[in-house]
Amino acid sequence: MDHDLPLADELAAVSVRMSGLLLSRETVHTALSLVTSLAGEALPGIEGAGVTLMDEHGRKVTAAATDSLVEQLDGLQYELGEGPCLSAWEERRVVRVDDIAAEVRWPRWTAAARGSRMRATLSAPLVAGGAALGALKVYGREPGTFGEREEYVLTMFAAQAAILMANVRSFDDARKLSDALVDQLRGRDVISMAKGILMAREHVDEGTAFAMLARASQEENKKLRDLAGTLIRSTIRRDR
């Protein structure tokens, strides 16, 4: 397969722009918007592009799209449980449709999609670290919009996009973990303050003070941290 120098330049430019996004630690939404817009720039004849991912509830959704019709055609795939984008994701391979009107695969989806202005589509899986994260797809208005060159470009582009998404997700997961750790430490501080109040008020040691809090937590059916916070607030009001 013959791939010329301009193609290499295009992929290098995509990589540079994606790397810049990683360095600036943008949000997942910003990353997805960049992926879809770059896909539109990298391939000629594209009328729309989108990214399919799994949401927090385990449902396949269009996380970003350049055109509302892309969302509609994708939505039909999710609703019917079949289509080129889903096949690309599940089978981890590029799937090309030269003419939706003449396509015989996915009969329910093609029947529903034939009335749209989109006539061709190309989908590639987003695979990083052995995990299939989703799929990237582009649509064209003319039959035969995409060929071997476009398959190659989209495959390389999807590989870069998958790395981007994996890194952005890792950053988000780390941030969530950090937030959870901070919240946990704050809870421990609140409990420690409540223990100190009981130690001073009841003239007991630390172990006894904690046992008192734990017993009250069970009796009142409250979380230990919430009970400790209530004790601290009531003590502050009393001392004013």
Give the pLDDT confidence of 112-135 residue by residue, as tens digits. 999 899 999 999 999 887 788 899
Rounded mean pLDDT of 5-27? 49
Domain boundary among 149, 173, 197: 173
Which pairing describes strands 95-97 and 131-140: parallel, antiparallel, or unpaired?
Answer: unpaired
The answer on 207 and 107 residing in a single domain is: no
The pLDDT score that the predictor gives to residue 26 is 47
The domain boundary, picked from 173, 191, 223, lies at 173
The closest alpha carbon to 167, from 209, 205, 128, 120, belongs to 128
Residue 1: the pLDDT is 46
Contact at 8 Å (CB) between 71 and 48? no
pLDDT score, position 54: 83
Same domain, 192 and 133: no
205 and 102 both lie in a single domain: no
Which helix or strand (DSSP H or E) is residue 62 part of? strand 60-65
Q: Are residues 220 and 197 in the same domain?
A: yes
pTM over cut 0.75: no
Residues 40 and 120 in one domain: yes
Res 86: pLDDT: 96
196 vs 125 pLDDT, higher one = 125
Of 215, 233, 237, 235, give the one whose Cα is nearest residue 224. Answer: 215
Tell me, yes or no, whether 188 and 150 share the same domain. no
In this structure, what CATH number is given to the domain that contains residue 180?
Answer: 1.10.10.10
Rounded Cα distance between 25 and 40, Å, is 23
Domain finish residue from 156, 173, 190:
173
How many domains is the chain built from?
A: 2
Claim to verify: residue 57 and residue 110 sit in the same structural domain: yes
| Domain hosting residue 181, numbered range | 176-237
Strands 120-128 and 46-54: unpaired
* CATH code of the domain in which 33 resides: 3.30.450.40
pLDDT confidence of residue 181: 53
